[in-house]
Amino acid sequence: MSLYQDGAPVGFLVQKIVLDEAELIQILVDPLYCNQGLATSALKYWHRALLKLGVCQVFLEVRQSNAPAVALYQRFGYHTVGVRKNYYHYGNDLVDAWVMSLSLVPCAEPSK
Name the β-bridge partners of 94. 89
Closest CA to 73 of 108, 46, 33, 105: 46
Q: Which of the residues 4, 21, 45, 61 is marked catalytic?
A: 61
Catalytic-residue membership of 73: yes
Burial class (CB in 10 A: 0-12, 13-18, 19+), 59: middle
Catalytic-residue membership of 21: no
Q: Which of the residues 23, 33, 45, 73 is marked catalytic?
A: 73
Catalytic positions, written as ranges:
61, 73
